[in-house]
Structure 1
Amino acid sequence: MPELITTRGTFTREELGLILPHEHVFTDLGPMEAANWRGVKLDEVVDAVSPEIERAKAAGVTALVECTPEGVGRRVDVLEAVSAATEFPIVVPTGVYQEPRIPDWVREASEDELAEWMCTELTDGADGTDVRAAWIKVSTDDDDPDGIADSEEKILRAAARAGTATGAVIGSHTLSGDVVHQQLDVIEDAGYSPERFIWIHAQAEPNRDLHAEVADRGAFVEYDWIGGEDQSDETYLDHVEAALEGGYADNLLLSQDRGWYDPSEPGGGTFRPYTYLVEEFLPKLEARGIDEATVRRLTRDNPFDAYAR
């Protein structure tokens, strides 16, 4: 039986409700060399983030997926502390961010070594904790829309090998649909299935035909800046309607890319609540005539199917 691995143990489909598939609790977006994430005090993060987790719980959110990998301040002990304080399940990633925020140890590691590291985090515990990673987060350089850097391809191939060995899904921060096709080619060549791949930030690709092409290859297509300033709710509603009309209800994920405590900012910066999707966007989706069963699939079943193993 598929189970979702979290900071609070494993959960079956029936034990969870609405799941946010792309959010952040703790992320360091400051200069990489400053490594502000290393010196943070756990109680300060818990005090800042816990009220926002409680707001999400009150709105009906039952779990969220943390999307911070190595390179942008991943701290699984922080996630574990927030989770324990709020009794709220957080889904943890292994994996590595994009150029130029790839740590030196990753640059120096071989594909074999990276695959072994990911497998260990997925099966034994991540980042020096007993919390198992549930999935693999990778990325491609936002400033290079034409291809994948050699370092990013090495990480991706290692992820494909670790995903094949464990059943873990791979999710990639990729802003270009053409690059997603390249990534799918790489993972297929490594023996991994596109059906276990999530195109994160698909809304950044203006060509909606590419959204459909990627879904046709079996991958999940995720619209996850909902509530942000880059695109209006009407644009996201149009994205969702087009996907549903194309027959891609089973491939679609919805989230906000919100939160987070940033240790490079005073007091962790300005927190963006996790509640916009539930309180603002879903009522608009229902007003467009999207039925309750479909909304349930998009917000409960699909996230579980994507991240469970």
Structure 2
Amino acid sequence: MAGPHTETPAGVDRSERFLYTTLGLLERSRLDMILPHEHVFVDLRTPDQPGYARADETEVVAVMAPRIEEIKERGVTALVECSTVGVGRRADIDLAVSRATGFPIVVPTGSYREPWITPFVREAEDDALEAWMFGELTERFDEADYRAGWIKLSAGDDGITQLEERVLRAAARAAARTGAVIGSHTIRGRVAMQQLDIIEQEGYSASRFIWIHTQEEPDLSFHDEAVSRGAWIEYDHVSRSPDEDVKSLILQALEKGYGGNLLVSHDLGWFDPALPKGGNQRPYTHLSDVMLPLLKASGVDEETLGLLTMENPFRAFARPA
């Protein structure tokens, strides 16, 4: 079921790769199940709103640590935080939750789409955007002293804007220098294909792109095209859509031989500072408790389940030291 992830960007040594986390670099041998798309802290207000991304760290830890403990009990060994700049990324709060639970979290650099783009990203020159992302990948976050694990972006539903394209091109250049994966919240298949074109124009590989929310594109020919180009497709709606629908989509992908290019997660959590007590958090447990048993009952073998939940997330997000 392995997919076509065989390309290596020029100048990047892929002989040894690690997951870059809040608790340092982790080898594959130290990890089992990884959730590739979740949120610990999110603020979906635009950055110009009063109180944006502000919260009491102690309160966030008190609310989110029990959610982390739930998945630790189920054998989950790492989680990918998908809140980027523009939607309230707080790498410092992610670190606090991680330290309180002894649980590694993979946190992104990068920027969300318009109108959530911050003044810095909007006003920065192209070289400055690349340098910012490269610096967070190789040195430290602006708000916390550890390194970003990947690049998270987004694109408008009707097409990528000029500013979003600038950010993507800068991200591709920073990623090519580090081996980092680029993931993008992209709803429309034609926009995802446009993003792949841009990444390749910048000299990076489509195999280092994750099409986040692939399930939102009903035309499965776009899923086929993304995989044929080597990209990751991500079905991140476990427990947010009917189980039978999610299971059917995963099974179709496996039947087509896309197991090596497929990521599966919930897109849940999270502490929202715009709501009292952070809102109503939803657990990260449905994949373990419900979806994996459903897939197994449908004939998916243990090796394939391990590919989806362990091998693929590591291959997608790991990069050289």
TM-score, normalised with respect to structure 2: 0.93
Quote the offset at 1:245 in angstroms: 1.4
Compute the RMSD of aligned alpha carbons.
1.0
CA distance in 1, matches of 2:142, 2:307: 32
CA distance in 1, matches of 2:212, 2:197: 17
CA distance in 1, matches of 2:46, 2:193: 31
Residue in structure 1 matching 2:140, options 125, 149, 152 = 125
Partner of 1:140: 155
AA matched with 1:25: V
Quote the offset at 1:36 in angstroms: 2.7
Asked if 1:284 is matched to 2:290, the reply is: no
Relative contact order (alpha carbons < 8 A, sep ≥ 6): 1 or 2 greater? Answer: 2
Partner of 2:233: 221
Q: Is the 8 A contact 2:230 2:261 kept in 1?
A: yes
Moved >4 Å (runs of 4+): none
CA distance in 2, matches of 1:190, 1:58: 42
Cα pair distance change 1:35/1:82, threshold 3 Å: farther
Asked if 1:5 is matched to 2:20, the reply is: yes
AA matched with 1:32: P
Quote the offset at 1:44 in angstroms: 0.6
TM-score, normalised with respect to structure 1: 0.96
Quote the offset at 1:109 in angstroms: 0.7
CA distance in 1, matches of 2:138, 2:47: 28
Partner of 1:61: 76
Partner of 2:183: 171
AA matched with 2:214: A
AA matched with 1:135: W
Partner of 2:6: none
Partner of 2:256: 246
The structure whose residues are more often helix, as a share, is: 1
1:229-308 equivalence runs, <5 A = 231-308=241-318
AA matched with 2:289: E
Residue in structure 2 matching 1:17, options 24, 32, 35 = 32
Unmatched 5+ residue regions in structure 1? Answer: none
Identity of aligned residues (%): 54
Partner of 1:154: 166
Partner of 1:46: 61
Secondary structure at 2:17 match in 1: coil
Q: Report how many residues are paired.
A: 304
Cα pair distance change 1:242/1:39, threshold 3 Å: closer
Quote the offset at 1:296 in angstroms: 0.1
Q: Is the 8 A contact 1:174 1:201 kept in 2?
A: yes
Q: Is the 8 A contact 2:213 2:235 kept in 1?
A: yes
Q: Is the 8 A contact 1:37 1:75 kept in 2?
A: no
Partner of 1:193: 205
Unmatched 5+ residue regions in structure 2? Answer: 1-15
Q: Is the 8 A contact 1:35 1:73 kept in 2?
A: no
